[in-house]
Structure 1
Amino acid sequence: MVASDELLPTAVLRQIGDKLYEKRKFAALDVEQLIKRLAAQNDQHRIRLIIDKLISEYSFSSQANHRKGALLCLAAAAVGLGEPTEVHLRQIVPPVLASFTDQDARVRYYACEALYNIAKVARSTFILFFNEVFDAMFRLCADSEANVQNAVQFLDALIKDIAADCTNFEVAAFIPKLRDYLRVTNPHKRQFLLSWVEALDSMPNVKMLPHLPALMDGLLSMLAEPVREVRTTVAKCLKDFLAEVRAAPEAELSAEFFSRLTATVVDRAGSPDELTRLTSIHWLRAFVELAPDRVLPHVPAILGVVLYNISSHNVDIQRECADANAALLRLDVAVYGAAARGAAAEGASGTGVTTAFGARVAIGKLDIPAILGTVTLEMRSEMEATRLEALRWLHFLLARTQELVLEQVGRLLPPLLDSLSAPSDAVVTSALGVLAALADCPGQFNAVLVAFLDRFRGEAGFALLQRSGSSLVRRLCSHLGAAAVLPELGGILQRDTDMSFASTMVSVLNLILLTGPELAELRDQLRRAAVDPAGAKLFTVLYPSWCYSAGALLSLCFVAQAYDHAVEIVHAFADLPFGAELLVQIDRLVALLETPCFTFLRLQLLEPRKHPSLLRALYGLLMLLPQCNAFRMLNARLQAVPTLELLQLEDGLGPTSGSHMGGVARAGQPLPAEREGDVAATAVVATKSEWAAFPELLRVFRAAQLRQYEAYTEQRRPQPLMAIGTAGPGVTFAASVTDRPTTLSTADKGGVPYVVSPTAAAGLAADATGLPGHVGTSASASISVAKLGAGAPGVSSGMPARPAAGLAGTSGDAQVAAAAEAEEDSAADATVRGTSGALGGDLSFSDNPFLTPPAAADIRQMQLQQPQPAAPSRGQLQHISSVGST
Structure 2
Amino acid sequence: MVKDFMSKDNVTQIRKLLKLLGQDFALSHNANSRKGGVIGLAAIALALGKDSGPYVDDLVKPILACLSDSDCRVRYYASEALYNVVKVARGAVLPIFNDIFDCLSKLAADPDQNVRNGSELLDRLLKDIVTESSSFDLVAFMPLLRERVYTKNNFARTFVVSWVSVMNSVPDIDMLIFLPEILDGLFYILEDPSVELKKMCETTLSEFLRNILKHPDRVDFAAMIRNLIVHSHSSEELVQYTAISWMREFVALSGRTLLPHAAGILEAILPTLSYDDPRRPESPSHAHAADIRETAKAVNMRLMQLVTEEDDQPSSRGPVASDSDSPAARGLGLGLQQRIAGELQPDGINATAVPVATELELTPLVNVLTRQLMHVSMQTRIAVLRWFLHLFTKIPNKVVLLDLEVLAEISSSSAAGGSGALKRPISGGGSVPAGDTVAVPNCYFGKFMLSLLDLFQSDLQLLEDRGSFIIRQLCVLLSAEDIYQSLSEILLGREDLRFAAHMVQTLNTILLTSTELFELRNQLKDLNTKESCSLFCCLYRSWCHNPVATISLCLLTQNYEHTCSLLHLFRNLYHSSDMEVTVEFLTEIDKLVQLIESPIFTYLRLQLLDSPQQSYLVKSLYGPAHATAPERGFPHAAHKARLPAASVPAADGYWHHYSKTMKLTYKHITAENNNAERCKSEINFQELLEHFQKVQESHKKAKPAARLKF
Pairwise same-fold verdict (TM > 0.5): yes
- Give the AA of the match of 2:455: R
- Give the AA of the match of 2:469: S
Question: Cα gap change, 1:598/1:110 in structure 2, threshold over 3 Å: closer, same or farther?
Answer: same
Kept in 1, the 8 Å contact 2:107–2:119? The answer is yes
**Alpha-carbon distance in 2 for matches of 1:377, 1:648:** 66
The match for 1:551 among 548, 553, 556 is: 548
Kept in 1, the 8 Å contact 2:544–2:696? The answer is no
Quote how far apart the aligned CAs of 1:711 are: 0.8
Kept in 2, the 8 Å contact 1:311–1:318? The answer is yes
Kept in 1, the 8 Å contact 2:437–2:479? The answer is no
Count of residue correspondences: 602
Pairs within 5 Å for 1:409-558: 412-415=402-405, 418=408, 421-424=411-414, 440-441=440-441, 444-458=444-458, 460=459, 462-494=460-492, 496=494, 498-524=496-522, 542-558=539-555
Kept in 2, the 8 Å contact 1:217–1:265? The answer is no
Kept in 1, the 8 Å contact 2:404–2:452? The answer is no
- Give the AA of the match of 1:412: L
Kept in 2, the 8 Å contact 1:372–1:394? The answer is no
Match of 2:281 in 1: none
Question: Cα gap change, 1:579/1:235 in structure 2, threshold over 3 Å: closer, same or farther?
Answer: same
Please give the root-mean-square deviation of Cα atoms over the aligned residues, in Å.
4.9
Match of 1:705 in 2: 692
1:160 aligns with 2:127: yes
Kept in 1, the 8 Å contact 2:26–2:62? The answer is yes
Kept in 2, the 8 Å contact 1:378–1:387? The answer is no
Q: Unaligned 5+ residue runs, structure 1? A: 1-33, 334-365, 651-660, 662-685, 719-747, 750-779, 782-840, 842-886
Match of 2:324 in 1: none
Kept in 2, the 8 Å contact 1:312–1:318? The answer is no
**Alpha-carbon distance in 1 for matches of 2:78, 2:176:** 35
The match for 1:329 among 288, 300, 307 is: 307
Match of 1:303 in 2: 262
- Listed one character per residue, the Cα deviations across residues 57-89 of structure 1 (whole Å, up to 9, x for unaligned) are 865565545554555565456546665633565
Match of 1:149 in 2: 116
Kept in 2, the 8 Å contact 1:536–1:691? The answer is no
Match of 1:672 in 2: none
- Give the AA of the match of 2:230: G
**Alpha-carbon distance in 2 for matches of 1:178, 1:199:** 13
**Alpha-carbon distance in 1 for matches of 2:675, 2:75:** 116
Q: Secondary structure at the match of 1:412?
A: coil
Q: Give the TM-score normalised by structure 1.
A: 0.57
Kept in 2, the 8 Å contact 1:270–1:277? The answer is no
- Give the AA of the match of 2:110: D
Match of 1:263 in 2: 223
Kept in 2, the 8 Å contact 1:269–1:277? The answer is no
1:102 aligns with 2:69: yes
Quote how far apart the aligned CAs of 1:157 are: 0.8
Match of 1:111 in 2: 78
Quote how far apart the aligned CAs of 1:393 are: 6.8
Kept in 2, the 8 Å contact 1:108–1:148? The answer is yes
Match of 1:879 in 2: none
Q: Secondary structure at the match of 1:440?
A: coil
Quote how far apart the aligned CAs of 1:645 are: 8.5
% same residue: 30
User: Which 10-residue stretch deviates more, 223-232 or 505-514?
Assistant: 223-232
Higher relative contact order (CA 8 A, sep 6+): 2
- Listed one character per residue, the Cα deviations across residues 361-417 of structure 1 (whole Å, up to 9, x for unaligned) are xxxxx9518724434544653544785476457536636xx5xx59xx7x6354555
User: Which 10-residue stretch deviates more, 538-547 or 234-243?
Assistant: 538-547
Kept in 1, the 8 Å contact 2:228–2:247? The answer is no
Pairs within 5 Å for 1:266-415: 266=226, 269-271=229-231, 272-273=233-234, 286=249, 289-290=252-253, 295=257, 299-300=259-260, 302-313=261-272, 315=293, 318-319=296-297, 321-323=299-301, 325-326=303-304, 328-329=306-307, 368=358, 371-375=361-365, 377-378=367-368, 380-383=370-373, 384=381, 388=385, 391=388, 394-395=391-392, 398=395, 405=398, 412-415=402-405
Quote how far apart the aligned CAs of 1:144 are: 0.7
Kept in 1, the 8 Å contact 2:53–2:89? The answer is no
Q: Secondary structure at the match of 2:413?
A: coil
Larger CA Rg, structure 1 vs 2 = 1
**Alpha-carbon distance in 1 for matches of 2:177, 2:249:** 17
Kept in 1, the 8 Å contact 2:497–2:545? The answer is yes
Question: Cα gap change, 1:608/1:633 in structure 2, threshold over 3 Å: closer, same or farther?
Answer: farther
- Give the AA of the match of 1:306: I
Q: Give the TM-score normalised by structure 2.
A: 0.69
- Listed one character per residue, the Cα deviations across residues 212-271 of structure 1 (whole Å, up to 9, x for unaligned) are 444445445544445454444334333333433443495xx4xxx73xx62354266335
Question: Cα gap change, 1:614/1:326 in structure 2, threshold over 3 Å: closer, same or farther?
Answer: closer
- Listed one character per residue, the Cα deviations across residues 556-580 of structure 1 (whole Å, up to 9, x for unaligned) are 4444555555444333323233211
Question: Cα gap change, 1:68/1:318 in structure 2, threshold over 3 Å: closer, same or farther?
Answer: same
Comparing both structures, which one devotes a greater share of its residues to helix?
A: 2
**Alpha-carbon distance in 2 for matches of 1:235, 1:437:** 51
Question: Cα gap change, 1:198/1:623 in structure 2, threshold over 3 Å: closer, same or farther?
Answer: closer
- Give the AA of the match of 1:160: K
- Give the AA of the match of 2:116: Q
Kept in 1, the 8 Å contact 2:23–2:62? The answer is no
- Listed one character per residue, the Cα deviations across residues 34-79 of structure 1 (whole Å, up to 9, x for unaligned) are 8789989999999888877766786556554555455556545654
Question: Cα gap change, 1:369/1:716 in structure 2, threshold over 3 Å: closer, same or farther?
Answer: farther
Quote how far apart the aligned CAs of 1:467 are: 0.7
- Give the AA of the match of 1:329: V
- Give the AA of the match of 2:300: A
Match of 1:569 in 2: 566
Quote how far apart the aligned CAs of 1:473 are: 2.2
- Give the AA of the match of 2:691: A
**Alpha-carbon distance in 1 for matches of 2:192, 2:85:** 35
